[in-house]
Structure 1
Amino acid sequence: MKISKTRLPNGSILKSEEKSFGYLDSFQGVFFDKGNFVSISEIGRLFFSSVPNWVEYLFKIRNKIVSLLGLKTSNSLKDRQNRLDNFKFETGEQFGLFKVFSKTNNEVILGEDDKHLNFKVSLFIDKQTNNREIKTLTISTSVSFKNWFGNLYFFIVKPFHKIIVPTMLKRIIKNIEGNNNR
C-alpha cells in the first residue's frame, strides 16, 4: 500500500485558512470501500484506534514534559474503547487532546488551541470519479504558531510527526480493508 505526500484537498474545510498556517502537510492513501459503508465517523474512530504502541509511549513522555510547562495534555481516558465507540465526532466534542472543530459527510477537523500553537488535523475522504468504491483518504495537519515556544516545540516534534502520520494512515487503511473482507 502506497502512502504519498500530497497537497491539501481543494474541498477541505481548511482550504480557506491555508495561507495563514505556519506549517501544513498532507499524506494520502487509496482504499477500497466495498458497498460504500465507510463513514467519516468511522475514519475518525480508526484514527484514534490506529495509533501504534510506540507512538502511545511517545505521547506519554510528551505529556509528562509539557505538563511541567503548563501546556495541554491528553488525560488518560478511562474506558477508552467504550468512549470511542460512543463518540459521535460532532462539533465541540472532545476525545483526549483532540476537539472536533467541524464535520461534514467527507471530512472531520480535529485539533486543539493551546497557548503556544494551534493545530488542526483534517481527515478527508475523496471518492474517485471512475469507481465509487475506490476512495482516497487524506490526513492533513496544519499548525499556527502563537509564539517562539510554539516554533521550538514543533521543531522538536516535526520529525516524529512526519513518521507518525503516514504510519497511522497506513494502519487506518489496513483496518478499513480488513473490515471490508469480513
Structure 2
Amino acid sequence: MSSLEEVRVPPQSALRATAQRAHYRDCYRMDVPTTDVTLDDAVRAFFHGAPAWVRQAMALRDRVMGRLGYHTQGPEPAQSLEGVRFEPGTTLGLFHIYERHERELIMGSDDRHLNFRVSILLDQEPTRTWLYITTTVELHNTMGRLYFGLIKRPHRLVVRSMMRNIRQALLAAPTA
C-alpha cells in the first residue's frame, strides 16, 4: 500500500531556502517500494504522469492565458522524451530546468505575474525510495494573485494524482 502525505520541504532539498520565503509552497511525499529508481526515471514519469483531465485542463488554460499574453505549455513534452537530457538549460513545455543535483531536479518558469518552481527529489532507503514533489510560487502582482487563487485547489489535486501515476510508472519500469 502506498502512502501519500503532505510534509514539510525536506532539509536536503535545494529548494528549501526558496520555499521558506515563497508566497505558496507545498510538498508531498510518497514511498516507492524499490531502490532501483533513478532521478531521470522519476522526471520522465513526471512528464508522462499527467492524467487526461489534467492535460485537457492545461490545454484550456493555454488557450485562455495565451490570449492574455502569458506563457503557455506548447507541445506536450511527454510525447518525445527519449534521449532528452534533464539538465539545466533544457526546456520542456512550461518547465525550464534550473538545477540538477544527484538526487534532485528543480524546474519551473518565470513570468510577469508569478514564478514557480517544482522539485523532484528522491531519498533512498535500504528497501524503498521516497519521492518528494515540492512546489513553490512567488506572486508578483494582482494578476498573479488572481490566477493562483483560481488554480491553488486544483493544483493540489493535480500533484496528488500525478504522484500516484508516477509511482505506478516507476514500479512498472524495467529497472524497478
- In the other structure, the counterpart of 1:72 is 71
Offset at 1:173?
0.6
- Contact 1:72 / 1:114 at 8 angstroms: preserved in 2? yes
- Amino acid aligned to 1:179: A
Percent of residue pairs identical:
29
Matches for 1:29-178 after TM superposition, within 5 Å: 29-33=30-34, 36-77=35-76, 80-82=78-80, 84-128=81-125, 131=126, 133-178=127-172
Query: What's the CA shift for 1:77?
Result: 4.2
Shift of 1:21: 0.2
Q: Report the alpha carbon displacement of residue 143 of structure 1 after superposing the two structures with TM.
A: 0.1
- In the aligned structure 2, how far is the partner of 1:16 from the partner of 1:163? 25
Matched-pair contact (CA < 8 Å) for 1:100–1:108: yes
The one-letter code matched in structure 1 to 2:11 is: N
Q: How many residues align?
A: 175
Q: Aligned to 2:72, what secondary structure does the other structure show? A: coil
Q: CA contact under 8 A between 1:39 and 1:105: conserved in structure 2? A: no
Tell me, yes or no, if the aligned pair for 2:115 and 2:138 is still in contact at 8 Å.
yes
1:16-35 per-position Cα deviation (integer Å, ceiling 9, x unaligned): 222220000011100122xx
Measure how far apart 1:62 and its partner are.
Answer: 0.2
Deviations 1:84-104 (A, max 9, x none): 112111001000110001011
What displacement does 1:180 show?
5.5
Contact preservation (8 Å) 2:9, 2:134: yes
Amino acid corresponding to residue 72 of structure 2 in structure 1: T
State the alpha-carbon separation in 1 of the partners of residues 74 and 154 from structure 2: 21
Distance 1:175 1:142, change over 3 A: same
Q: 1:145–1:37: structure 2 CA closer, same or farther, 3 Å change rule?
A: same
Q: Which ranges in structure 1 are unaligned for 5 or more consecutive residues?
A: none
Taking structure 2 as the reference length, what is the TM-score of the superposition? Answer: 0.94
Gaps of 5+ in 2: none
Q: Deviation digits for residues 89-126 of structure 1, max 9, x if unmatched?
A: 10010001100010111100010000100000000101
Q: CA RMSD in A?
A: 1.6
TM-score (norm. length: structure 1): 0.91
Q: Judge conservation of contact 2:41–2:170 (CA < 8 Å) in 1.
A: no
Q: 1:44 to 1:181 in 2, by over 3 A?
A: closer
Partners of 2:17 and 2:156 lie apart in 1 by: 24
